[in-house]
Amino acid sequence: MKPPVFDYHDPATVEEALDLLAVHGDDGKVLAGGQSLVPLLNFRLAHPEHLIDVNNIGELSGIKRDGGRLRIGALTRQSMLERSALVADNWPLLTEALSFVAHAQIRNRGTVGGSVAHADPAAELPVAFLASDADFIVKSKRGERRISAVDFFVTHLTTTMEPDELMVAIDVPAPPEGAGYAFTEFARRHGDFALGGAAVLLAAEGRTCTSAAVGLLAAAPTPLRAAGAEEALVGSELSQDGAEAAAKRAVEQIDPTGDIHGSSEYRKGLIEVMVRRAIEKAAGRLDGDGLGFSRNGGGGR
């Protein structure tokens, strides 16, 4: 359980980190909270020759409202985001997603940018950002890029970031006015990676759904938007039957990988239930009377 030998670098500014990545990016790794990278090193599943530790770069950390949008520094600890009143009041889907992430000790070290850059399809924050139409801001000596969440994830643990790029921030638009939100998942034990889950943001006028974002957790090699479910919801009346139909549409497009924790069919059924519950819960949280749905979902079927 010892990591392979590496050269350790400790930049104090983003510029210094970008200089190091320009030289060592191809055979180096950024070290943020270390909660995913250090186990990979210790199991010898990763063997970078250089580790570029960004923990001393203060400018990479922090949460602020920028116009109507939320800007989260990539090095912001997951626990800081979880405890932010600004986020809980205005981007509550993120707060709810964080309540499922690992354990307090891991969230105290684990960073928001690290979770996104690691790109585990069973990680909650990437799915919540995808459902929120977030952008990821990355920098290199070649300049800055803004990559939308939908274009960011390529496959398991792989993103469109280049080896010389550093994620500096996550930029999240405000949810639609009066939106309802919900994050649901099922894991064998609380804090374990989920076997399936869903992130939902809904807006409505009267009973009619005017916008819907449905993100799927652990459904594919990347976090996924359930386009079929979104199409089924937008323009139709929010109802129990509508939630069931949309959840069915959500799993038509997926073929989750089975493993010792559950077969592909089991996971598909589980994700369908998680999507339906998330839609019901989000509808119950819409501004107004909740359209007859409960704020905690439509009953534990």
Interface residues with ligand FAD (CB under 6 A) are: 29-37, 39, 54, 74, 101-102, 106, 110-111, 113-115, 117-118, 123-125, 166-167, 191, 193
**Nearest to ligand FAD of 116, 203 (CB atom):** 116
**Nearest to ligand FAD of 32, 233 (CB atom):** 32
| Token pair listed for 267 | 């996971």
To the nearest whole angstrom, how small is the minimum distance from the Cβ of residue 177 to ligand FAD?
29
To the nearest whole angstrom, how small is the minimum distance from the Cβ of residue 168 to ligand FAD?
7
Residue among 63, 84, 274 at smallest CA distance from 182: 274
CA 167, CA 74: separation in Å to the nearest integer?
Answer: 6
Return the sign of the alpha-carbon dihedral for residues 163, 66, 72, 174: negative
To the nearest whole angstrom, how small is the minimum distance from the Cβ of residue 69 to ligand FAD?
19
**Nearest to ligand FAD of 75, 243 (CB atom):** 75
Is 267 in contact with 219 (CB distance < 8 Å)?
yes
Describe the strand order of the beta sheet including 208-217 as a list of residue ranges: 180-186, 196-205, 208-217, 224-225
The helix (H) or strand (E) run that includes residue 220 is none
To the nearest whole angstrom, how small is the minimum distance from the Cβ of residue 252 to ligand FAD?
26
**Nearest to ligand FAD of 110, 180 (CB atom):** 110
CA 176, CA 284: separation in Å to the nearest integer?
Answer: 16
* Measured torsion, CA atoms of residues 115, 121, 122, 126, in degrees rounded to the nearest 10: 40
**Nearest to ligand FAD of 197, 284 (CB atom):** 197
**Nearest to ligand FAD of 174, 187 (CB atom):** 187
To the nearest whole angstrom, how small is the minimum distance from the Cβ of residue 58 to ligand FAD?
14
To the nearest whole angstrom, how small is the minimum distance from the Cβ of residue 169 to ligand FAD?
9
Is 178 in contact with 250 (CB distance < 8 Å)?
no
To the nearest whole angstrom, how small is the minimum distance from the Cβ of residue 208 to ligand FAD?
34
How many helices (H) and strands (E) the chain has is answered by 12, 14
The helix (H) or strand (E) run that includes residue 216 is strand 208-217
**Nearest to ligand FAD of 117, 198 (CB atom):** 117
Residue among 99, 300, 252, 253 at smallest CA distance from 181: 99
